[in-house]
C-alpha cells in the first residue's frame, strides 16, 4: 500500500512538473487552453517580455488585445486587467520616449480594453467601477463607459442598482474633472446622473412630495417653511423649491436636482462666483430630513418632515391588469374645489401622455403632460414644473393627490373614467 501511495505521489509530482513545463515552455504563448486564462504565469511572462526587443513587445500586446477585444469572459478579463497593470509599469520603464511610443500605447490599449469590458460585463459595484473609470487610458474610453451605462439604465428597474449608478456617475464626474478631461465628458456623467434620477423617482418616489421645514436659529436669510420635491413628468428633471407660505414666495428653486441614495442635492450657478446650492438627506422610514441651503452670502441648516408623498399613490396594485391605453379618454372629477373633466391623450412621437383639466364653469383650464405606469396603474402628470397630479386606480376609482411647488400645498383628488 505504501508503494502504491508512493507511485501516486510521484506521478502527481511528474504531472505537476509537466504542467509547469507546459506553462513555462513559452511564457509568451496564449495560455487559455492550458490554464483557462491568457496569462498563466505573469512573472515569467513579464521576464520574457523584458528581454525581447521593443517590436516584439509591442506585437505581443497588440495581438493579445485584438484576440480578446470582444471577450465577455470575466475570468479572462480579470486576468488581462491584473496583468495589464503590471505590463503598463514594465513598458513604461522600458520606453525611451513614453509620449511617442507605439509599444507603450499597445500596453495601455490592452489594459484599457480589459477595464472597459469589465465595466460593461462585470458585476456592478459603484466603488469598483469608479476605480475602473479612473484607470481608463483616455477621455474617449471614459465617455464610452458613461454612454454604455446611460443606455443600459433605461432597462434597469432595481432601485438599489440605480442608486449605485448615481454614486458611480457622481464619482466619475469628479474623476474626469480632476483628470482635466474635456467638459463634454463630465457633462456625460451629469447626463447619466440626471437620467437615472428620473428613473429612481419614477420607480420609487419616496422623495417626491411636500415637507414642513424648520430653520436653525440665528439665520440671516429670507425664511422658508415648506420644501417641495417634484419629478417633472415631461421634461425629465427633478425640481426642488423652498417656499415661504406666509408671503407665498418661492425663496429658492432648483430645476436640475440629483438623487444619490437618500440624498438630494442641487446647484444654480448665475455667474462665475455666484451660486446657490442645497443638499438634504431623507430618512425613508419616518420622512425626516436634514440639510442646508447656501448662497454667496448666506448659509442655513434646516430640519423637517415629509407631510405628503406621491409614494402613497404608487403603493398597492391596480384592481385589474391595465394596458398602455387604459387612461386615454375622459375622467370626471374635481380640482381646487371645481368640478370638471380631465381629458387624456397619448402622443407617440414624444412618448408622452398629454392632458387638460377644464372646469364646468370654465375658470380652470390646466394643461398637463406626463407618464402612465400600467403595471402600477399610476398616471403622473406635471403642469409647467409647478403642479403635480398623480392618480392611481384603486377600488374602482382613480384617487391621488395634486400639489403645487409654488404654494407648498396639496389636495386629495378623485376621478371616475367616463
Q: Which of 309, 324, 350 is the last residue of a domain?
A: 309
Residues 349, 280: one domain? no
In a shared domain, residues 41 and 150: yes
Report how many domains make up the chain: 3
DSSP 124: P
Q: For residue 136, what pLDDT is reported?
A: 87
Task: Please compute the mean of the pLDDT values over residues 218-232 and round it to a whole number.
Answer: 87
pLDDT digit string (tens) for 134-143?
988 889 989 9
Please check whether residue 12 lies inside any domain of the structure.
Answer: no
Whole-angstrom distance, CA of residue 232 vs CA of residue 255: 9
pLDDT at residue 85 greater than cutoff 50: yes
Domain that holds residue 255: 209-309
Q: Which CATH number goes with the domain that contains 297?
A: 2.40.128
* Residue 4 falls inside a structural domain: no
At residue 24, the pLDDT reads 46
Q: How confident is the model at residue 416 (pLDDT cuts 50, 70, 90)?
A: very high
Question: What does the pLDDT read at residue 142?
Answer: 92
Let me know whether 324 and 376 are in one domain: yes
Summarised one tens digit per residue, pLDDT across range 334-371 is 998 899 999 999 999 888 999 999 999 989 999 999 98
Q: Which of 183, 202, 221 delimits the end of a domain?
A: 202
Q: Is residue 301 part of a domain?
A: yes
Same-domain pairing of 277 and 335: no
pLDDT (tens digit per residue) in 124-135: 889 999 999 998
Predicted pLDDT of residue 5: 42
- Answer yes or no: do 261 and 127 share one domain: no
Amino acid 224: pLDDT? 94
With 0-12 CB in 10 A as exposed, 13-18 as middle and 19+ as buried, what is 400? buried
Query: Is 323 inside a domain boundary?
Result: yes
DSSP E strand stretches across 119-262: 209-215, 226-231, 238-244, 249-254, 258-260
Quickly count helices (H) and strands (E) in the chain: 11, 17
Residue 8 lies in a domain: no
Do residues 89 and 232 both lie within one domain?
Answer: no
Question: Residue 1 domain-assigned?
Answer: no
Are residues 167 and 102 part of one domain? yes
- The reply to whether 245 and 328 lie within a common domain is no
Do both 155 and 64 map to the same domain? yes
Give the pLDDT mean for 187-198.
Answer: 87
Do 251 and 188 share a structural domain? no
Domain boundary among 291, 309, 327: 309
Averaged pLDDT of the chain = 86
C-beta atoms surrounding 67 within 10 Å? 14
Does pLDDT of 159 surpass 50?
yes
Q: Is position 79 within any domain? A: yes
Asked whether residue 176 falls in the same domain as residue 130, the answer is yes
Same domain, 326 and 271: no
Say if 259 falls within a structural domain. Answer: yes
* CATH of residue 346: 2.40.128.120
* Cα–Cα dist 226/246, whole Å: 10
Higher-confidence residue: 245 or 13? 245
Amino acid at each position: 500500500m505504501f508503494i502504491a501511495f508512493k507511485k501516486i505521489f510521484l506521478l502527481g509530482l511528474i504531472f505537476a512538473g509537466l504542467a509547469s513545463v507546459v506553462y513555462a515552455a513559452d511564457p509568451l504563448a496564449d495560455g487559455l487552453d492550458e490554464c483557462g486564462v491568457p496569462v498563466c504565469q505573469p512573472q515569467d511572462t513579464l521576464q520574457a517580455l523584458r528581454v525581447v526587443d521593443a517590436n516584439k513587445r509591442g506585437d505581443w500586446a497588440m495581438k493579445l488585445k485584438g484576440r480578446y477585444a470582444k471577450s465577455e469572459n470575466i475570468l479572462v478579463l480579470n486576468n488581462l486587467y491584473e496583468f495589464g497593470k503590471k505590463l503598463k509599469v514594465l513598458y513604461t520603464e522600458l520606453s525611451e520616449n513614453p509620449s511617442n511610443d507605439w509599444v507603450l500605447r499597445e500596453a495601455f490599449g490592452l489594459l484599457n480594453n480589459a477595464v472597459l469590458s469589465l465595466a460593461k460585463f462585470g458585476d456592478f459595484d459603484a466603488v469598483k467601477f469608479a476605480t475602473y473609470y479612473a484607470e481608463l487610458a483616455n477621455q474617449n474610453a471614459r465617455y464610452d463607459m458613461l454612454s454604455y451605462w446611460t443606455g443600459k439604465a433605461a432597462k434597469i428597474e432595481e432601485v438599489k442598482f440605480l442608486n449605485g449608478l448615481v454614486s458611480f456617475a457622481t464619482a466619475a464626474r469628479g474623476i474626469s474633472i480632476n483628470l482635466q478631461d474635456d467638459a463634454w465628458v463630465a457633462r456625460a456623467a451629469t447626463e447619466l446622473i440626471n437620467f437615472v434620477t428620473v428613473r429612481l423617482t419614477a420607480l420609487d418616489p419616496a422623495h417626491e412630495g411636500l415637507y414642513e421645514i424648520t430653520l436653525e436659529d440665528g439665520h440671516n436669510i429670507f425664511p422658508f417653511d415648506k420644501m417641495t420635491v417634484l419629478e417633472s413628468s415631461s421634461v425629465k428633471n427633478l425640481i426642488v423649491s423652498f417656499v415661504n407660505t406666509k408671503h407665498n414666495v418661492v425663496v429658492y428653486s432648483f430645476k436640475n436636482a440629483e438623487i444619490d441614495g437618500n440624498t438630494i442635492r442641487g446647484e444654480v450657478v448665475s455667474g462665475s462666483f455666484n451660486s446657490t446650492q442645497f443638499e438634504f438627506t431623507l430618512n425613508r422610514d419616518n420622512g425626516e430630513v436634514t440639510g442646508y441651503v447656501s448662497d454667496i452670502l448666506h448659509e442655513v441648516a434646516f430640519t423637517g418632515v415629509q407631510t405628503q408623498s406621491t409614494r402613497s399613490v404608487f403603493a398597492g396594485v391596480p384592481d385589474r391588469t391595465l394596458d398602455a391605453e387604459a387612461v386615454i379618454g375622459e375622467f370626471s372629477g374635481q380640482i381646487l374645489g371645481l368640478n370638471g373633466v380631465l381629458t387624456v391623450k397619448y402622443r407617440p412621437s414624444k412618448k408622452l401622455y398629454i392632458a387638460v383639466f377644464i372646469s364646468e364653469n370654465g375658470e380652470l383650464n390646466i394643461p398637463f403632460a406626463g407618464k402612465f405606469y400600467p403595471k402600477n396603474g399610476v398616471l403622473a402628470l406635471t403642469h409647467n414644473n409647478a403642479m403635480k397630479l398623480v392618480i392611481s386606480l384603486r377600488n374602482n376609482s382613480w384617487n391621488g393627490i395634486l400639489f403645487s411647488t409654488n404654494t407648498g400645498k396639496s389636495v386629495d383628488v378623485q376621478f371616475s373614467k367616463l
